Amino acid sequence: MQNNIKHQIMRNILFITAFFLLTISISAQNFKGEVSYSTKLNFTEENLREMESKNDKATNAMRKVLANSTDTEVIIKFNTTHSSYKVVKKLEITDRKPLNMTYAIAGGEKVYFTELIHNKSSMQECKLLDACFLVEQPLIEWELTQDSKIIGGYLCYKAINSNSKNKRKKPVAWYAPQISASFGPKEYYGLPGLILELEESAVTFRATKIILNPKEEVVIEDMNGEKITKKEYQKKLKKSYGEFNEN
- Tell me the C-alpha distance between 102 and 203, whole Å: 7
197, amino acid identity = E
116 CB-near residues (< 8 Å, 6+ apart): 80, 81, 82, 182, 189
Ranges 11-25, 138-152, 181-195, 198-212: which has the least confidence: 11-25
CB atoms within 10 A of CB 147: 12
pLDDT in tens, 54-92: 566 666 777 777 777 788 999 999 999 999 999 997 655
125, amino acid identity = E
pLDDT in tens, 214-245: 999 999 988 899 999 999 999 988 887 765 44
- Which whole-number Å values give the CA distances from 237 to 7, 69, 145, 244, in the listed order? 70, 26, 38, 10
- Which whole-number Å values give the CA distances from 18 to 12, 15, 21, 24, 148, in the listed order? 10, 5, 5, 10, 35
